[in-house]
Every structure is written in structure tokens, then in C-alpha cells.
């Protein structure tokens, strides 16, 4: 809901024709709150006076923001009215936009005591109850632990498949499974399901009968947010930015030797820019966030203290609160790093993850991870993903086919979900243009001005000749 409210606030500023300096001021004040909250989260000196000082700073920033917004509400009443209108997608519009012969939506409601699912298809909906939520949540926890490493023997594989098959039977009953086969499924997960890779669920008692082989999957926070987010105004100047620190100057973070090849190979495919090694310092990367249609970050990340996940650059880490304080105009952010879809689960709101932070900052879709990824396997998947994107595939199709190619070209323990199952697509699924020239709006503007100038000069000279 908070993501939806943020989009509504941005739309309210546009609808009320708020002067740019006031819109910038509103953003700056909100940014100050996030940065102060981040300061509190990473505070090393835990003395009472230090904590109180930062809390006072946060209070002052919030109070300044409230006073400023109150003044906007008085001077621009249309802003106040529109800001309160959180638009929920009507069911008729939902079915028109997101349901077709090939497209279905599977939505869940879950807590520790009860759970329900509903499959929306063309012409009908299937409602079902999750029979044993407590057992389901326990099994998800077990499965999430099992996929954090590769299977070294048949017993480990069998143990995982048994758990994943139980989860599958609870979440996707037979009458639902028969419908979603060969379909493109948008999943709206809830509670513990937000930390589950549905693609890695087991659909039968046969080895490696993963759900990804039967269906194409993407995820969304809500259909209302998915619909409104795609309508945000995005005008990036440039196409692709790949970032790979490779080596790190903090916290004994290990080198990611395959990340250089990953980013340089992808840059060759999409004709973009890259920041490697010493060029990938935090300030330099952040200053480019708002310029590119695709941001690809191949680096370390973790949930940290779970309340404030981080992603690493060459010299410093960037936390979730700091991401909230940035802006980007990207169609897609790819977080080729560990656990970028994990974080604290807030009831009614979802997982406070790095992926969510980039949505808040403005992106339309995120490729993120549910557990620690293998550097080499991840490199293979990413390169294939962009090759598929370059062919015009939708994002979810590109990711699925990259995973299927991996499964078809590896064997033994390398078939473990640990290697291929972590990456998921959240958000908008439309194909993405990789044409570098299509992201030069200022060049188009200059050419247009030259044409108008030349035309005006022609008619001016023609008029003068007639006058003589």
C-alpha cells in the first residue's frame, strides 16, 4: 500500500501542476528523513546521547516535512485532494488488462492460522483454501534452507523434492495446476510466500520436475500497483549501465571474479556503459541512477540486520534507506547479487527488501534474488537472459528460458535449485528496447529544432523574395 500511496503522491503533484521548485523541495525533505533514519540504523556509537541526537534529527525532519506539506495543501487544494485518492484497480479493468487466453493471475492471502488462494483466468476464477498454513510455513522455512546449497547426494535431492512437493500441493491444487500449465502466471504472494521461489516447486514424484518446466512466472506486489507504476513518466537519456566492483575495500568482502565477464559481455549485447573496479565507487554509481533505462548491479548484497538490507559498491555499502532517498527512471533494475528480495516482512505491506527500495525510487521492474547466488552460474544465467531480451522476449520469458537452458546444459549437482532458482522477476513484463539510439531524447529535440529552424528560414527568404 505504501508503494501505491507514493505513486499517488507523485501523480497528485503532476495533476496539481506543482511548481518544480516545490516538488523538488518536497522530495528533498522526504529524502532527509530517509537518510537520518539510515544514520540511526547504522549508528556504531550506541551511547544514549548519540541515539537521542539522531532521533531528534529525524523528528525535526519529519516535522519540517509535515509543515511543508500542510502549506502545499492550503495553497494547492487539488494536490491535497488527489494525494488522498489511492486508486484501486477495478476488477473489470484488471481482467481487461491482465487476463487473456495465455495470461492468468494467482493471488494468495496467508497468515499463520489461515490461507486462501484465487486463480483469475479468462471467463472464471477458482477460489481455494490452503489446508494447513502452519505446516506450509514450516515447510517453506525448511525448503528455503535446503536451496541455500547444492545437493551432494541423492538423499539431499530426495529430501528437498519431498518438501517442495508438499508445498506445491498446498499452494497449487490439481484443478489450478491443470489450468496454469503452459500459461504465463503473475503471482501475488503474501507473508512467507514472498520469500518462496515458486519456479523451484516440485510438481510430481519424478526427479527435477520443477514447476518452471510447465509455466512462466513473474511476481507483483499488487495488481493496482503494477498497473499504476507502468504509467509513471520515465525519460532516461541512456540505455544500459553495468556496475561490477569485482574487489571490495570493506568488511573482508570476497572478490567476485566472474562479475567482470558478466557485465562486459552484457554490455556488448546491449551497447551500454560499464563501471568496473575503482570506477564503481558509491557516489559515482548513485549519480548515474537517474540516467539509464537499465541498471545492472553485479556485486555483494545481504539483508544485514534484516531491518536495513545493503548492497555493496567498491568503497561503501548502500542501505535500503539510502535507496529510498534516490530517484531512478529505469525500465528495469537487475540486482545480480545475494538475497536482494529478502528483508523484514511487515504485515499488510510486504518484504522490506532492496528490490522494493528500487521500486520506491522509480523503476518499473526488478530482477532480484531470494538466496545467495553462485557467481559463475549467475553469470551464465544473466548473459543468456540479456540475449533473450535482445531477441524481443518479455522479461519473464527471457529469464525462464535462461533457466531452462541452464537446466538443459548441466547435470548432477549443478541441477540443484541453488544454482538457477534464486533469480525472480518482479513488476512490469513488457519487452525492453536495447537500442542505444532510442535513449537520446535530447538528440531528437536538437534535430527537431534544426528542422523547424531550416523550415522557418526557407519561408522567411521566400517571403522576402516576393516582397522585392
Tell me the pLDDT of the chain averaged across its residues: 86
Phi/psi at 464 (5° precision): -65, -40
Cell numbers representing residue 222 in the block = 499488487
Task: Please give the Cα distance from 433 to 296 (Å, whole number).
Answer: 15
Long-range contacts of 127-131 (CB under 8 A, 24+ apart): 128/173, 128/175, 128/176, 130/170, 130/171, 131/170
> Among the ranges 36-50, 56-70, 250-264, which has the highest mean pLDDT value?
250-264
Measured between alpha carbons, how far is residue 340 from residues 220, 309, 322 in Å? 15, 8, 15
In 3-state terms, what secondary structure has residue 128?
strand
Task: Please give the Cα distance from 324 to 322 (Å, whole number).
Answer: 5
Looking at 196-319, list the stretches that DSSP marks H as alpha helix, in order from N- to C-terminal side: 223-229, 259-270, 282-286
Task: Please give the Cα distance from 73 to 219 (Å, whole number).
Answer: 36
Q: What is the mean pLDDT of residues 399-406?
A: 97
Cβ atoms of 275 and 240 within 8 Å: the answer is no
User: Is there a common fold for 2-83 and 232-434?
Assistant: no
Cell numbers representing residue 139 in the block = 515447510
**Residue boundaries of the structural domains of the chain:** 2-83, 91-225, 232-434
Measured between alpha carbons, how far is residue 418 from residues 63, 140, 262, 373, 378 in Å? 46, 15, 19, 7, 10
With cut-offs at 50, 70 and 90, classify the pLDDT of residue 443.
Answer: very low
The residues pairing with 246 across neighbouring beta strands, listed in sequence order, are none
Looking at 42-124, list the stretches that DSSP marks H as alpha helix, in order from N- to C-terminal side: 48-75, 77-83, 91-98
Of 139 and 447, the structure prediction assigns the larger pLDDT to 139
Q: What is the mean pLDDT of residues 58-78?
A: 80
Query: Exposed, middle or buried by CB within 10 Å (0-12, 13-18, 19+), for 364?
Result: buried
Query: Residue 306 has what DSSP assignment?
Result: T
| pLDDT the model gives residue 440 | 47
pLDDT single digits (tens) 315-357:
999 998 899 889 899 999 999 998 888 888 876 667 888 999 9
Task: Please give the Cα distance from 236 to 362 (Å, whole number).
Answer: 11
Which residue in the block uniquely carries the three cell numbers 516545490?
22
Q: Under CATH, which architecture does the 2-83 domain have?
A: Orthogonal Bundle (1.10)
Residues in the chain, overall count: 468
Dihedral sign (CA 291, 297, 301, 303) = positive
Q: Under CATH, which architecture does the 232-434 domain have?
A: 3-Layer(aba) Sandwich (3.40)
Q: What is the number of other CB atoms lying within 10 angstroms of the CB of residue 458?
A: 10
Cβ atoms of 298 and 259 within 8 Å: the answer is yes
The residues pairing with 407 across neighbouring beta strands, listed in sequence order, are none
Output the pTM of the full model. Answer: 0.83
Strands 184-188 and 365-369: unpaired
Of 461 and 384, the structure prediction assigns the larger pLDDT to 384
Listed in sequence order, the residues at least 6 apart from 368 whose beta carbon sits closer than 8 Å to its beta carbon are 335, 340, 341, 353, 354, 355, 423, 424, 426
> Among the ranges 83-92, 260-269, 393-402, which has the highest mean pLDDT value?
393-402
pLDDT single digits (tens) 120-129:
999 899 999 9
Task: Please give the Cα distance from 273 to 346 (Å, whole number).
Answer: 37
Comparing CA positions, the residue from 49, 184, 57, 187 lying closest to residue 117 is 187
Task: Please give the Cα distance from 438 to 461 (Å, whole number).
Answer: 34
DSSP letters spanning 398-467: HHHHHHHHHHHH--GGGGSHHHHSSEEEEE--S-----GGGG-HHHHHHHHHHHHHHHHHHHHHHHHHHH
Of 157 and 42, the structure prediction assigns the larger pLDDT to 157
Helix (H) or strand (E) holding 22: helix 20-41
Amino acid at each position: 500500500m505504501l508503494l501505491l500511496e507514493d505513486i499517488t503522491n507523485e501523480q497528485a503533484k503532476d495533476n496539481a501542476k506543482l511548481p518544480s521548485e516545490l516538488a523538488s523541495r518536497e522530495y528533498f525533505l522526504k529524502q532527509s528523513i530517509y537518510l537520518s533514519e539510515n544514520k540511526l540504523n547504522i549508528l556504531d556509537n550506541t551511547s544514549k546521547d548519540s541515539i537521542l541526537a539522531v532521533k531528534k534529527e529525524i523528528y525535526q525532519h519529519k516535522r519540517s516535512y509535515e509543515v511543508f506539506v500542510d502549506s502545499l495543501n492550503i495553497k494547492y487544494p487539488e494536490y491535497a485532494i488527489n494525494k488522498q485518492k489511492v486508486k484501486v484497480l477495478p476488477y473489470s479493468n484488471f481482467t481487461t488488462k491482465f487476463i487473456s487466453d495465455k495470461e492468468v493471475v494467482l493471488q494468495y492471502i496467508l497468515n499463520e492460522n489461515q490461507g486462501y488462494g484465487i486463480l483469475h483466468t479468462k471467463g472464471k476464477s477458482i477460489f481455494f483454501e490452503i489446508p494447513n498454513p502452519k505446516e506450509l510455513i514450516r515447510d517453506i522455512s525448511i525448503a528455503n534452507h535446503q536451496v541455500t546449497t547444492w545437493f551432494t547426494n541423492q538423499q539431499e535431492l530426495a529430501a528437498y523434492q519431498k518438501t517442495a512437493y508438499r508445498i506445491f500441493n498446498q499452494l497449487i491444487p490439481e484443478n489450478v495446476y491443470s489450468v496454469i500449465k503452459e500459461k504465463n502466471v503473475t503471482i501475488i504472494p503474501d507473508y512467507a510466500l514472498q520469500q518462496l521461489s515458486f519456479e523451484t516447486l516440485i510438481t510430481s514424484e519424478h526427479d527435477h520436475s520443477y514447476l518452471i518446466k510447465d509455466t512462466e512466472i513473474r511476481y507483483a506486489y499488487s495488481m493496482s500497483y503494477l498497473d499504476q507504476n507502468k504509467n509513471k513518466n520515465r525519460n532516461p537519456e541512456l540505455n544500459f549501465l553495468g556496475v561490477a566492483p569485482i574487489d571490495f575495500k570493506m568488511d573482508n568482502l570476497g572478490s567476485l571474479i566472474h562479475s567482470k565477464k558478466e557485465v562486459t559481455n552484457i554490455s556488448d549485447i546491449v551497447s551500454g556503459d560499464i563501471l568496473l573496479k575503482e570506477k564503481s565507487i558509491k557516489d559515482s554509481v548513485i549519480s548515474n541512477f537517474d540516467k539509464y533505462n537499465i541498471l545492472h548491479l553485479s556485486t555483494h548484497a545481504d539483508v544485514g540486520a534484516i531491518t536495513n538490507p545493503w548492497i555493496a559498491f567498491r568503497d561503501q555499502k548502500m542501505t535500503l534507506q539510502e535507496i529510498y532517498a534516490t530517484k531512478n527512471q529505469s525500465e528495469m533494475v537487475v540486482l545480480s547479487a545475494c538475497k536482494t528480495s529478502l528483508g523484514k516482512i511487515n504485515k499488510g505491506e510486504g518484504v522490506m527488501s532492496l528490490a522494493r527500495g528500487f521500486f520506491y525510487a522509480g523503476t518499473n521492474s526488478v530482477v532480484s534474488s531470494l538466496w545467495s547466488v553462485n557467481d559463475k552460474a549467475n553469470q551464465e544465467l544473466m548473459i543468456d537472459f540479456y540475449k533473450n531480451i535482445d531477441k524481443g522476449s518479455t522479461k519473464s520469458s527471457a529469464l525462464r528460458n535462461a533457466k531452462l537452458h541452464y537446466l538443459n546444459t548441466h547435470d548432477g549437482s549443478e541441477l540443484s535449485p541453488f544454482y538457477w532458482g534464486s533469480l525472480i522477476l518482479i513488476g512490469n513484463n513488457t519487452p525492453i528496447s536495447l537500442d542505444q539510439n532510442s535513449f537520446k531524447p535530447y538528440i531528437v529535440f536538437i534535430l527537431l529544432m534544426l528542422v523547424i529552424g531550416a523550415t522557418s528560414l526557407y519561408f522567411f527568404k521566400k517571403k522576402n523574395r516576393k516582397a522585392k
